[in-house]
Structure 1
Amino acid sequence: MSAVAWTAVGSLAAWGWLLLGQGFFWRTDQRLPPSEAPAQWPDVAVVVPARDEAEVLPVSLPSLLAQDYPGRAEIILVDDGSTDGTGEVARALREQLGGLPLRVVPPGEPEPGWTGKLWALRHGIALARAGKPEFLLLTDADIAHEPDSLRALVAAARTNGLALVSQMARLRVASGWERLVVPAFVYFFSQLYPFRRVNRPQARTAAAAGGCVLLRAEAAERAGVPESIRQAVIDDVSLARAVKRSGGRIWLGLAERVDSVRPYPRLADLWRMISRSAYAQLRHSPALLAGTVLGLALVYLAPPVALFAGVLEQDAAAGWAGGLAWAVMTGTYAPMLRYYGQPLWLAPLLPFTALLYLLMTVDSAVQHYRGRGAAWKGRTYARPEAAPDR
């Protein structure tokens, strides 16, 4: 067989393993586990790190203020050096709408060795602990919750004995680029961290979605977070690892009533969002970067190339192997598109989207070696740790 045919066969074999051996990552059925209302609802502190979020707070914060929670709950919004009036907007919304108690507090500038979000969380968690809540809800400033979201999270944690419950918020999909890139973002994340494996106590795989994390305060203390992960850029995965390693049960699934309201209308917006932390996920390793590029090329780019080359060169083996690999790829992507309510004709375009992610990852490495590191909201972390071990 030709070299193209052998490459296509290798890609097809990889897809066979991904289909059956990677925790059925492509399924979208991991939703909040069944739960019962507790006899007495525990206290909860909602911690919201916010830096220059005045634009999205009018959409997201009212959903937290309006939580229909039977127990005692308060919101601590940590205004992390905002220059756009984030704190003032938050206070005005609370005064106008009422709802849960709200405190807006400044954390000060991060100390050396801390990334900005974790520094803000540290400050918010420290204030929350003074009230001795049983649970902490760590949620981003761009996340909107349905009125029963907090109640459902707490009930799931209490019923199932979970130390951490995290939902992957449904990201906004409105523009053409969002339709092309966003569902694939969640698809690739679940491929790296299959939710079924995350949710098995005996499995080593651990991950969380940072936009919505319910965490037992006792589990946070036992795991030493956020101090133990203070350098992490991929803070949600690092948090889940720390909790699981300390003996806590964790759960991760797709959200039905938790949504991100942040828009990414242009490719440049999505590019910055993904590339800022892609190389940190690879632990700033040139070897892992090279392996990732080769892996993406073999798994996602080789099938369509082999199919078209097989047709043009009358190479039946290359054409059949490439076509079958592309078909399996398309089939595994379809459930995520259905979850996002997108047309299935987008599924065969996944190789093009994968090419974009490949280029974003390479750009992330280039920015790192230029000394720009993981840049976000005016801060740059030149050499942060992806997920430091304890």
Structure 2
Amino acid sequence: MGPLLIAACVSLAVWLWLTLGQGMFWRTDTRLPPRHAPAHWPSVAIIVPARDEAAVLPKSLPSLLAQDYPGEAEVVLIDDGSTDGTAALARRLADAQPGLPLTVVSPGDPDPGWTGKLWALRHGIAHVLTPPGSTTEGVRDGRTAPAYLLLTDADIAHEPDSLRELVAAATAADLDLVSQMARLRTVSAWERLIVPAFVYFFAQLYPFRWINHPAARTAAAAGGCVLLRTGAAVRAGVPDSIRQAVIDDVSLARAVQRTGGRIWLGLAERVDSVRPYDSLGDLWRMVSRSAYAQLRHQPALLAGTVAGLALVYLVPPVALLGGLATGRPAVAWAGGLAWLLMAGTYAPMLRYYRQPLALAPLLPFTALLYLLMTVDSAVQHYRGRGASWKGRTYARPSDA
């Protein structure tokens, strides 16, 4: 038995396991759990960290201001040192559109040991819990602090009923954290090739069904849309307890789960990212800035990941084509079946993103790109550039 046949058989066995034993990660029917209107709609503060977001804010902020929510709600935008007029634009958008009240907070540059987004969230949460001039946490102008916090990125647009549906799901199932993975933009050719695979790989690492099980030990969230019970945030000490995290959404979910909170993650139907990634370089930077942090900056984990990606995603097409070319049917069959399982499990994600199923056989090529992005992430880390985003570099972040 030659090495290529062994590798093809191992890859096929892995794909059989992934298809049947990895929490049915490939299914895309994990949407908001059953929900109904609560007897009393709890108050919510929508917290939006924003750094140089003037290009996307006109497509996202009005959707938050226009939320059709029966209870008390407000929007707090944290201007994280923007140089493009983000804060002034936010105020103009709020003045031009009646809806939820908007407050803009400008906390200044992060203290040492903080990533920019979590620094912004810290000040947004502090604002809604203890406003300037108040000495009593939980009391704001004679009102109690909001019962929930909606943490949403500045590039995320919400349908008018988004907040209402999130709160209904959280209250009906008594969840401390409800997160939806926003549907990312798939307009450019590179977005169509890479974006659905990004979500597919994420679900493979963090199967939604495992996360959502009441006794789950797997934890993850999607940072673009997180509804968090205020009490759970206080109990978990977030964001202070995860202040150095580059992969802040996963770290947030772990912190909430560790302190006894119930979490839920699924795909969104009416929450969309409006940020464009028109070029391969844009997408490359989006992935590589945190890929090595996901591996805890461990060379051994990097080597294992590269080997694993090659075995699982690259061996099947090589075995099929190599077996056909050299007249080794066993090699071709093993590689072909593994490639078929790969494409078959990818098809539901392509349908969710409304992309042609003809892209499914191209997943090995996309996986090769992700492999190279991961290696580049490690290279940048050891060059001292680490995770870089909008002019800030976090050389050695923690992802506790």
Deviations 1:53-82 (A, max 9, x none): 001000000000000000010000000000
Query: Which residue number in structure 1 is paired with residue 69 of structure 2?
Result: 69
Query: Which residue number in structure 1 is paired with residue 18 of structure 2?
Result: 18
Query: Which residue number in structure 2 is paired with residue 224 of structure 1?
Result: 237
Query: Which residue number in structure 1 is paired with residue 119 of structure 2?
Result: 119
Give the drift of 1:106: 0.5
SS in 1 for 2:26: coil
Q: Does 1:211 align with 2:224?
A: yes
CA distance in 2, matches of 1:266, 1:306: 31
SS in 2 for 1:174: coil
Question: 167, 183, 198: which is aligned to 2:180?
Answer: 167
Q: Does 1:181 align with 2:194?
A: yes
What are the within-5 Å matches in structure 2 for residues 326-337 of structure 1? 326-337=339-350
Q: Percent same amino acid at aligned positions?
A: 76
Q: Does 1:263 align with 2:276?
A: yes
Q: TM-score, normalised by structure 2?
A: 0.96
SS in 2 for 1:257: strand
1:215 corresponds to which letter in structure 2? L
Give the drift of 1:315: 1.0
Question: 350, 355, 358: which is aligned to 1:342?
Answer: 355
Query: Which residue number in structure 2 is paired with residue 358 of structure 1?
Result: 371
Deviations 1:318-343 (A, max 9, x none): 10000000000000000000000000
CA distance in 1, matches of 2:214, 2:120: 30
1:136 corresponds to which letter in structure 2? L
Query: Which residue number in structure 2 is paired with residue 128 of structure 1?
Result: 128
The alignment's C-alpha RMSD in Å is 0.5
Give the drift of 1:223: 0.7
Query: Which residue number in structure 1 is paired with residue 313 of structure 2?
Result: 300
Structure 1: where are the runs of 5+ without partners? Answer: none
Give the drift of 1:98: 1.9
Deviations 1:117-169 (A, max 9, x none): 00000000011113410000000000000000000000000000000000000
Give the drift of 1:109: 1.1
Query: Which residue number in structure 1 is paired with residue 213 of structure 2?
Result: 200
Query: Which residue number in structure 2 is paired with residue 384 of structure 1?
Result: 397
Query: Which residue number in structure 2 is paired with residue 320 of structure 1?
Result: 333
Give the drift of 1:277: 0.5
Q: Does 1:152 align with 2:165?
A: yes
CA distance in 1, matches of 2:332, 2:40: 62
Query: Which residue number in structure 1 is paired with residue 59 of structure 2?
Result: 59
CA distance in 1, matches of 2:46, 2:186: 26
1:105 corresponds to which letter in structure 2? V
Deviations 1:345-386 (A, max 9, x none): 00000000000000000000000000000000100000001x
Give the drift of 1:201: 2.1
Q: TM-score, normalised by structure 1?
A: 0.99
CA distance in 2, matches of 1:182, 1:361: 16
Structure 2: where are the runs of 5+ without partners? Answer: 131-139
2:146 corresponds to which letter in structure 1? P
Query: Which residue number in structure 1 is paired with residue 137 of structure 2?
Result: none
CA distance in 2, matches of 1:23, 1:129: 38
Give the drift of 1:21: 0.8
Query: Which residue number in structure 2 is paired with residue 48 of structure 1?
Result: 48
